[in-house]
Amino acid sequence: MNSVYDLHSHSNASDGTLEPRELVQKAAQAGIDVLALTDHDTVDGIDEAVAEAPGAGIALVAGVEISVTWNKQLLHIVGLGVDTGCETLREGLRRLQQARRERAEEMGRMLEKQGIEGAYAGARALANGRVIGRSHFARFLVDEGHVANMRKVFRSYLGHGKPGFVAREWATLEEAVSWIHGAGGQAVIAHPARYPFSITKLKRVLQDFIEIGGEGLEVISGSHSREDNANMARLAREFGLLASMGSDYHGPECPWLSLGRLAPLPDGLTPIWHDWQERGIARSA
């Protein structure tokens, strides 16, 4: 039997809602054999997830989703199979976490100008000392009745160019890939069909990424349509990128992204995990 892979997920170490151990249990219940925990700009949830995995009967891949600014656009680069003790990676992530704290304060001020009080304190409380992000603000705004649901919050306040949006310089593409490689991992462009790019621009990203040594494309994503998956499969073949797949699960509160419900990898692609056995990644204990 083929193993079921889900190589993109979040815990409450960043903007997911489950504790890492709860996420691992949920993944096992969903029939996943190999799960990567890929929190935004942190590896703080990994130790707990790794400890929980053998008992749950799944293999846990240490991962991260790094925020990148490429040509003034936000990109997400997933690192898979990283050594979480690598100091270069940790140092880079600390910088991004500091940028997130500064952005959050600024977002609070922007939302205050829109007549919304206490958003920074509310988001901070929801993040509970862990990595803060726009999702925490979104949850605060929904909980307080300012907006009906998460999607509308991004459309009205937190999306690019909206009144609560604060632009930041994140890592460069080179930095993100070099931190991941320095930590012994593989770099993957997350949910490639989600960016507001033309196909020409997306191809430019892939070209840059490959020149730097990036190896993977998340062909199958929980946030892709079927057509997106097919288009990204074509790009992966054209550019010779290894194929990854992941739900981008954030917890039961975000039911539009569900664990372990992914389409199979299309034919003619080399999976990113093709040599993991030899490399000792995702060994089940």
Instruction: Give which of 239, 156, 150 is closest to 192, Cα–Cα.
Output: 239
Please select the residue that binds ligand AMP; options are 150, 183, 236, 243, rule is CB under 6 A.
Answer: 150
> The tokens of 149 are what?
């649901």
135 binds ligand AMP (CB under 6 A): yes
Shortest separation between residue 119's beta carbon and Mn ion, angstroms: 18
> The tokens of 187 are what?
């770099």
Scanning residues 136 to 195, which ones bind Mn ion (CB under 5 A)?
A: 190
Shortest separation between residue 240's beta carbon and ligand AMP, angstroms: 28
Question: For the residues of 248-268, what is the DSSP string, one character each?
Answer: -B--TT-TTS-TT-PPPPPTT
Beta strands (DSSP E) in the chain are 5-6, 34-37, 59-70, 73-80, 186-189, 216-221, 242-246
224 binds ligand AMP (CB under 6 A): no
> The tokens of 54 are what?
């053998």
Task: Please choose, out of 90-98, 149-157, 201-209, 233-241, the segment that lies near ligand AMP by the rule CB under 6 A.
Answer: 149-157
Please select the residue that binds ligand AMP; options are 20, 79, 81, 133, rule is CB under 6 A.
Answer: 133
The answer for residues whose C-beta is within 8 angstroms of residue 61's C-beta and 6 or more apart is: 7, 34, 35, 36, 37, 80, 81, 281, 282
Task: Please choose, out of 17-25, 147-155, 172-180, 277-285, the segment that lies near ligand AMP by the rule CB under 6 A.
Answer: 147-155
- Dist. CA 34–CA 49, nearest whole Å: 12
9 binds ligand AMP (CB under 6 A): no
150 binds, among ligand AMP, Mn ion, none (CB under 5 to 8 A by kind): ligand AMP
Provide the CA 220 distance to its chain's centre, in angstroms. 13
The one-letter code for the residue type at 85 is: G
Q: Which residue is nearest to ligand AMP (CB)?
A: 133
* 76 DSSP β-pair partners: 67
Task: Please choose, out of 86-94, 133-141, 174-182, 236-244, the segment that lies near ligand AMP by the rule CB under 6 A.
Answer: 133-141
248 binds Mn ion (CB under 5 A): yes
Q: Which is nearer to ligand AMP, 56 or 222 (by Cβ)?
A: 222
Residues in touch with Mn ion (CB under 5 A):
15, 65, 76, 190, 248
Residues in touch with ligand AMP (CB under 6 A):
15, 40, 67, 133-135, 150-151, 154, 250
